[in-house]
Amino acid sequence: MKTSQRGIDFIKEFEGFSAVRYICSAGKTTLGIGHVIRPGEVFPDTLSESGADALLARDLERFETDMLEAIEVDLNQNEFDAIISLAFNCGAHAIANSTLMKLLNGGASREQCALQFLRWDKANGKPLPGLTRRRKAEM
The catalytic residue positions are 15
CA distance 81 to 4: 7
In sequence order, which ranges of 16-138 are alpha helices (DSSP H)? Answer: 49-70, 77-90, 92-96, 99-105, 110-116, 129-138
φ and ψ at 123, to 5 degrees?
-130, 125
